[in-house]
A and B are shown apart, each in its own frame.
Chain A
């Protein structure tokens, strides 16, 4: 194991063994109680607070911060979970600068918002650390609901349904529950196995059975679920990835960023995970940033993120991009891939500079090449394997405001549906609201 960042090719162990634990540890460690008190004191307890309006799950932020001020972070956690049962993960992954913290009046006043995300993490972590689940199930209703997908939308929906007394079966294709929380985000955002800790804590509500390794279309059909259960919720996410549409884009060394991120998350010893010396990431979203930053943290010498439009059009937040730049990721904008050059293995990726033309994005005619042992494609994910009978609205499953699909007894939420920006917090809101709609439908039918 004498590799270094400059070792050619795609190799493991580019760093000293101790560097991995440090690089992939919590990006922002928890507040200690005093820090939390000082941070909480900055909240003005705004009337009809803009931060609440900006939160897709409408957490009562001034209330939970006041509960921290009053010395009861667990009560603050409960306030958060009332609206968002995955408030712990959201505290870690939400792009707060465009949501609650972006709306904070202190952002307007001083350019320094109340650190709502970190306060939320303090509150939720405090409660979860007690391993006490603050909710109890209502008396059982005898109704059975199938939830397909154990990602944020499915877990949230299942929890809310179980709370109302329904019996829930979660069917999930992966080995572990959690969906993107477990497979799709950077390790340093959910360090110390938080995704599984959160799932275990959530399931303490009872009434939820989780079946892993069950894939819709392979292990059962939607029609079969409709027949067996009183209602079905689809939280199947976006299982496909968009392709570049270039020859040799699958040359050895080129792969989808989501696959790399998932493999990284499931690798106990990161010194065994190979990474290139010259890494190119194509895309401008969170997935691209997570792949790029983690490549650097694994020891890649040069990591370049290339996006075809300007920085303001990128899906990744300014905060994420600053973090990437700080970790040594080079960010190139206004450049689109036009060729992958491979000679057996990947060698170079060729880009054309772009500008906004009359027909949309057009190449300027100027091109450049980036040396690449490894290429990560992160230009978006797509809905695939849509169950028969489910109607689509564009590239997503069509649902109404309560998450109902056109099929009777079938609801959907999360990234597989439209609305929202494919954020964890949006999926939570949709899963929660769909559960309420399902509950109303099931109980209304009885009345």
Chain B
């Protein structure tokens, strides 16, 4: 069995699966259940400043997007940071860390954007002997209207400033949690690094309205006929999160900055993908909220089996392995020429590839009267749409043409690697050297 223990910016945990700062980590009862189930660590749900706690709405806090069998594909929430008294949270954090010393205990924080507020809360958290803090610069609703959460996360200068305060007033490792509700995720990551952050975590939730009630014309989730945008998460956001993680991992300015990956991690495979794109740990919330803490057994066993199959003995060996293969479009090999190929033994003759290609693409699939579907190589641009719409796995594959073969579509011979930067159609092309 592969060793899943991780050491992330000095915070050790028996596996890289942490529960994200969210309802599952709001109190001792839940966190102890999570640790008993086998979770490697938690980021305790965000604490606010001393004083009367925030209040939540008393109607629905969550909205959802489902598949046909009510499989939860996306979840949205309008819940705020913890609404329990600060002292209670701190007491419980201390107790849990004492009882579960081998698990990662990170405390999420969000206080007003002034140095004194941060200094005050940090001192209180240090007393709990928690392993680190995560700065919640991502929460997109409720707190942002009060100048916190994503209101900070959307301004790189604020991120840098607050991060600097935190590092100045605390010896604890500091993770900066980023909001995806921004045009270029690299800017806040760079700011966090400049401020001295030990790591970033991302993504926080995405501004969203899950649906509209067409009888009452109210957005969902609906409170007394009205709705406010909430934070979207769950399986639907994973592709967005993977890209943002990869952007930070491959940006020279932030390359090497530890990342805790968040966004739609539902199975071990999702976690492994985040790890290969540079995440050192992953944080999970929606999957746990959907299925309960028991899913950790599949996640740890699955990751361990995969690592054994691939010959990886530690999580570190997996981290960042796909990052060198993430590039920009202009560097993609224009001499990589593929053609779709339909396996007639697997084909069930549904014709979806034909409809997709004929109606919306390149008219590169033929249909015979007896419903045999074949690719017309002279028309196929290898767009992959037929593969994507085919209901049978591996029925349609993309077969690259060998070097030296003539592409029947263009009449050109497949040659060596070449890309847009030197292409004659590119007005900005540099002369090939």
Which of the residues B68, B349, B391 comes within 8 Å of A69, measured between beta carbons? B68
As a 0/1 sequence over residues 36 to 56 of chain A, the CB contacts with chain B under 8 angstroms (1 = contact) are 011011001111111000000
Segment among B81-89, B134-142, B350-358 that sits at the interface with chain A: B350-358
> Does chain B have a CB within 8 A of A130?
no
Given contacts A34-B70, A38-B69, contact A46 B351 (CB under 8 A): yes
Which of the residues A38, A44, A69 comes within 8 Å of B350, measured between beta carbons? A44
Inter-chain CA distance A37–B67, complex, in Å, is: 10
Q: For chain B residues 345-365, which have a beta carbon within 8 Å of chain A?
A: 348-352, 354-355
Inter-chain CA distance A69–B355, complex, in Å, is: 20
> Does chain A have a CB within 8 A of B55?
no
The 9 closest A-B pairs by CB, nearest first: A47-B351, A41-B68, A47-B355, A109-B348, A105-B348, A46-B350, A105-B350, A44-B350, A38-B69
Size of A's binding interface in residues, CB under 8 A: 17
Contacts of A137 in B (CB 8 A): none
Which chain A residue lies CB-closest to B395?
A109
Q: For chain A residues 44-87, which have a beta carbon within 8 Å of chain B?
A: 44-50, 69
In contact, A50 and B391 (Cβ under 8 angstroms): no
Inter-chain CA distance A46–B367, complex, in Å, is: 13
Which chain B residue lies CB-closest to A53?
B371
Contacts of B352 in A (CB 8 A): 44-47
13 contacting pairs across A/B (C-beta < 8 A): A37-B68, A38-B69, A41-B67, A44-B350, A44-B391, A45-B352, A48-B367, A49-B351, A50-B349, A50-B371, A105-B348, A108-B349, A109-B391
Contacts of B67 in A (CB 8 A): 41
Contacts of A49 in B (CB 8 A): 351
Inter-chain CA distance A46–B69, complex, in Å, is: 21
Size of B's binding interface in residues, CB under 8 A: 15
Instruction: List residues of chain B with CB under 8 Å of any chain A CB.
Output: 67-70, 348-352, 354-355, 367, 371, 391-392
Smallest CB separation, A440 vs chain B (Å): 29
In contact, B354 and A47 (Cβ under 8 angstroms): yes
Smallest CB separation, B346 vs chain A (Å): 9
Inter-chain CA distance A405–B226, complex, in Å, is: 66
Which of the residues B348, B354, B367 comes within 8 Å of A108, measured between beta carbons? B348
Inter-chain CA distance A38–B367, complex, in Å, is: 30
Smallest CB separation, A296 vs chain B (Å): 36
Instruction: Decide if the interface of chain B is mainly helix, strand, loop or mixed.
Output: loop
Which chain B residue lies CB-closest to A35?
B69
Inter-chain CA distance A303–B351, complex, in Å, is: 46
Which of the residues B68, B70, B371, B392 comes within 8 Å of A109, measured between beta carbons? B392
Contacts of A50 in B (CB 8 A): 349, 371
Smallest CB separation, A118 vs chain B (Å): 15
Contacts of A330 in B (CB 8 A): none
Smallest CB separation, B243 vs chain A (Å): 29
Inter-chain CA distance A37–B70, complex, in Å, is: 9
Given contacts A44-B391, A47-B355, contact A38 B348 (CB under 8 A): no
Contacts of B70 in A (CB 8 A): 34
Contacts of A37 in B (CB 8 A): 68-69
Inter-chain CA distance A112–B348, complex, in Å, is: 13
Inter-chain CA distance A28–B319, complex, in Å, is: 54
Contacts of B68 in A (CB 8 A): 37-38, 40-41, 69
Inter-chain CA distance A47–B391, complex, in Å, is: 13
Which chain B residue lies CB-closest to A38?
B69
> Does chain B have a CB within 8 A of A106?
yes
Inter-chain CA distance A50–B351, complex, in Å, is: 10
Inter-chain CA distance A34–B68, complex, in Å, is: 8
Smallest CB separation, A410 vs chain B (Å): 36
Inter-chain CA distance A47–B350, complex, in Å, is: 6
Inter-chain CA distance A48–B371, complex, in Å, is: 9
Which chain A residue lies CB-closest to B373?
A47
5 extra A-B contacts, CB within 8 A, seeds A47-B350, A109-B391: A40-B68, A46-B351, A48-B367, A48-B371, A106-B348
Contacts of A45 in B (CB 8 A): 352
Contacts of A46 in B (CB 8 A): 349-352
Contacts of A44 in B (CB 8 A): 350, 352, 391
Inter-chain CA distance A108–B355, complex, in Å, is: 20
Which chain A residue lies CB-closest to B69?
A38
Inter-chain CA distance A270–B350, complex, in Å, is: 46
Inter-chain CA distance A49–B352, complex, in Å, is: 10
In contact, A41 and B349 (Cβ under 8 angstroms): no
